[in-house]
């Protein structure tokens, strides 16, 4: 049973560029959440996707956008990259039915470095 997978593992970009990160959820899960984790900090919620729609969004600018595909996989796009966007980006999947009871299972993350 495959867990949550993310690609790529590492990415280096320069300021102003755009980046796309990818995530495949755990088998049987239909909800994908994205988190940003800066060095030495806890993960911060970016947004959650369910049924190909953005269900909820955290306190992140519109430069951060996403998409969910019919097979439940998801992409995170970040435009006009800033140095401050350098972080570990974590994808989590869950069943999406239970509200606060849902356990989110995380992937290995994509480490983005912006130069």
Return the residue of 7, 56, 77, 113 that touches another protein, per CB under 8 A: 56
Return the residue of 92, 93, 112, 114 that touches another protein, per CB under 8 A: 92
State the binding string over 13-42 for another protein (x if CB under 8 A, else -).
------------------x-x-x----xxx
Distance CA 55, CA 113 (A): 28
DSSP 34-79: EEEE-TTS--EEEEEEETTEEEEE-S--TTEEEEE-TTS-EEEEE-
Residues in touch with another protein (CB under 8 A)? 31, 33, 35, 40-45, 48, 50, 55-56, 58, 88, 90, 92, 94, 96-109, 111
């Amino acid at each position: 049973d495959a867990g949550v997978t993310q690609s790529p593992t590492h990415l280096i970009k320069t300021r102003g560029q755009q980046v796309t990160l990818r995530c495949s959820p755990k088998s049987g899960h239909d909800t994908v959440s994205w988190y940003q984790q800066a060095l030495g900090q806890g993960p911060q919620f970016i947004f959650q996707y369910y049924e190909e729609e953005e269900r909820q969004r955290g306190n992140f600018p519109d430069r951060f956008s996403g998409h969910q595909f019919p097979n439940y996989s998801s992409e995170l796009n970040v435009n006009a990259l800033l140095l401050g966007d350098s972080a570990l980006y974590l994808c989590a999947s869950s069943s999406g039915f239970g509200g606060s009871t849902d356990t989110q299972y995380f992937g290995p993350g994509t480490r983005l470095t912006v130069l």
